[in-house]
């Protein structure tokens, strides 16, 4: 038998002996720790029952409705946000509408005031015009215009053109003109004035409000136009001696 074989056997024996010894030492150490942890005055009870291990419950069921709940919350939050935005927009629209209505009311009030002021000015001008007599220039144009205003009050027709045309033909615009050579002159009643009216005709067709003077320009024109309206419908229809 070789030396190595003896050595291996000896080593195995020592190893088993050492293992047993180590196990004993470990057991004694545990017992000592247990005794030192027990109060000195208390009795020590040794039991072989194992301490139950606390049980931890685990569930293998998947977590449900978590995503749906979060989505619902986000949806509700979005609706609330939209509602708030809609309220703000409605308030802004209402404010803008109110502002526009106020501006329109102010503009309308300004127009009404302007219209009232214009009416007042017109009334004032009318009062002034009524209070102040109308004036006419002392020439052929003024005589015709003054005569036409009087004719209008009495309903006598005649235009500026018709009157002016016949005056130029009859007297060339001379209010003191007199015809001393026609048949009327031979009969002792010569034609006189702007429209060469004979005295009997002037007396018959004289218009109230004008002087009874056959040479007065306005009186002569107005009486002659009154006669022409009665005889021819209007001085506008006279184109020759009448």
Give DSSP secondary structure letters for 175-212: TT-B--SSHHHHTT---BTTTTB-HHHHHHHPPTTS-S
pLDDT of residue 28: 46
**CA 63 – CA 66 distance, rounded (Å):** 7
pLDDT of residue 71: 63
pLDDT of residue 46: 43
Q: What would the two tokens of residue 124 be?
A: 């004032």
Report pTM.
0.49
Task: pLDDT tens for the chain, 242 residues: list them.
Answer: 444 444 444 444 444 544 444 444 454 444 444 434 444 444 444 444 444 554 555 455 555 554 556 566 666 677 788 888 888 999 999 999 999 999 999 999 999 999 989 998 888 887 766 677 899 999 999 999 999 999 999 999 999 999 999 999 999 999 999 999 999 999 999 999 999 999 999 999 999 999 999 999 999 999 999 999 999 999 999 998 88
Separation of first and last alpha carbons in the chain: 192
In the block, tokens 């009050």 appear at 153
pLDDT of residue 42: 40
Query: If 0-12 CB within 10 Å is exposed, 13-18 middle and 19+ buried, where does residue 128 land?
Result: exposed
Q: What would the two tokens of residue 70 be?
A: 């979060």
**CA 36 – CA 40 distance, rounded (Å):** 8
**CA 156 – CA 229 distance, rounded (Å):** 7
pLDDT of residue 81: 85
pLDDT of residue 17: 45
pLDDT of residue 45: 44
pLDDT of residue 30: 47
| 3-class secondary structure, 42 | coil
């Amino acid at each position: 038998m070789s030396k190595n074989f003896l050595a291996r056997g000896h080593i195995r024996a020592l190893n088993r002996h050492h293992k047993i010894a180590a196990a004993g030492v470990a057991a004694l150490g545990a017992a000592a720790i247990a005794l030192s942890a027990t109060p000195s005055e208390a009795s020590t009870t040794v039991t072989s029952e194992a301490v139950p291990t606390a049980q931890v419950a685990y569930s293998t069921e998947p977590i449900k409705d978590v995503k749906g709940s979060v989505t619902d919350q986000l949806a509700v939050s979005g609706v609330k946000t939209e509602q708030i935005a809609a309220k703000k927009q409605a308030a802004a629209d209402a404010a803008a509408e109110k502002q526009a209505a106020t501006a329109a009311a102010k503009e309308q009030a300004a127009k009404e005031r302007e219209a009232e002021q214009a009416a007042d000015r017109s009334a004032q001008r009318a009062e002034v015009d009524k209070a102040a007599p109308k004036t006419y220039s002392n020439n052929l144009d003024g005589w015709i215009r003054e005569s036409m205003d009087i004719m209008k009050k009495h309903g006598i027709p005649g235009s500026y053109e018709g009157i002016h045309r016949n005056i130029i033909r009859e007297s060339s615009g001379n209010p003191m003109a007199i015809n001393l050579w026609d048949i009327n002159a031979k009969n002792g009643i010569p034609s006189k004035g702007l429209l060469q009216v004979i005295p009997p005709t002037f007396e018959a067709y004289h218009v109230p409000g004008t002087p009874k003077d056959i040479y007065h320009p306005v009186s002569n024109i107005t009486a002659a136009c009154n006669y022409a309206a009665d005889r021819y419908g209007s001085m506008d229809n006279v184109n020759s001696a009448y």
